[in-house]
Amino acid sequence: MRVELKAEPGAANRIQSASRVATASGGTCYWGERTRVWATVGTSYPTGKSRLVYSNSTSTSFGAGVTYGDGWSASGSTTTGDSWGQGFKRSGANRSYRVDVEYRRQDCYLASSGTYSHTHTIPQLQTGFTRSNRLGSAPDMGTCGEVASGEWFRGALRGTDYQLSYGVKSEAFIGINLSTRRAYSSEGRLSCFYGERRRMCGGDEYPSVARTVRERH
């Protein structure tokens, strides 16, 4: 339903600029400032070396936020299909993998009175910029078993998506961090490389379908 404001000051000028206006049931919303933030899309804890391949077959969701004028809270998420990718360099360090995401504010007003209602911050696109971030000790993961020497990867079987409730580093922007969720796929996978047999552990399930994994000697 498209409802245009009648009473909000200056509304007529903004409505003429259609590229800046988004409508919602019961009111009208206006696009505002853009901000780029880093978002974690994977972690690895190798005994040898590991890497993440982040490619165009990956589907990633980034959390959205909302405020009614009294502080921000999480409010759903937006899924993006990636049309770019990177194979991160192999490394023996515990690390997280991050991508750069552009967010945009959206101020919404009531149709009946033209008064302010709320503000969203919504992920718009991934810029194609990346970085890795060094992590400390690996978390405990209890579902472990033996794996032969070579390359072990998590990706060909979907299982549980990688999820992190504070993955979007948006605290400096809105005061809270938001969530990330990345689907494993055959071309968007986490690989571990080692020369001797190891133990592979899953955080919430068997490693083949777990949300997060780690190696042990």
What pLDDT, on the 0 to 100 scale, is given for residue 8?
36
Question: What is the average per-residue pLDDT within 8-33?
Answer: 55
105 pairs with which residues across the strands? 121
∠ at Cα 155 (153, 158), nearest 5°?
Answer: 140
At 154-177, the pLDDT tens digits run 886 667 889 999 999 999 999 999
- Report the first-to-last Cα separation within the chain, whole angstroms: 59
What local confidence, expressed as pLDDT, does residue 23 receive?
55
What local confidence, expressed as pLDDT, does residue 13 receive? 32
- pTM of the predicted structure, to 2 decimals: 0.83
| Lowest-pLDDT range of 1-15, 145-159, 175-189, 193-207 | 1-15
**How far is it, in rounded angstroms, from Cα 55 to Cα 86?**
6
pLDDT of residue 57: 61
pLDDT at 217: 87
pLDDT digits 0-9 by tens, 114-141: 899 999 999 999 999 999 999 999 999 9
Which residue from 191, 209, 207 is spatially nearest to 199, judged by alpha carbons? 207
23 or 196: which leads in pLDDT: 196
pLDDT above 70 for 56? no
* In contact, 66 and 75? CB cutoff 8 Å: yes
> What band does 7 get if pLDDT is binned at 50, 70 and 90?
very low
Q: Say which DSSP state 74 is in.
A: E
Q: How far apart are CA 182 and CA 184, in angstroms?
A: 6
- How much is the pLDDT for 10? 40
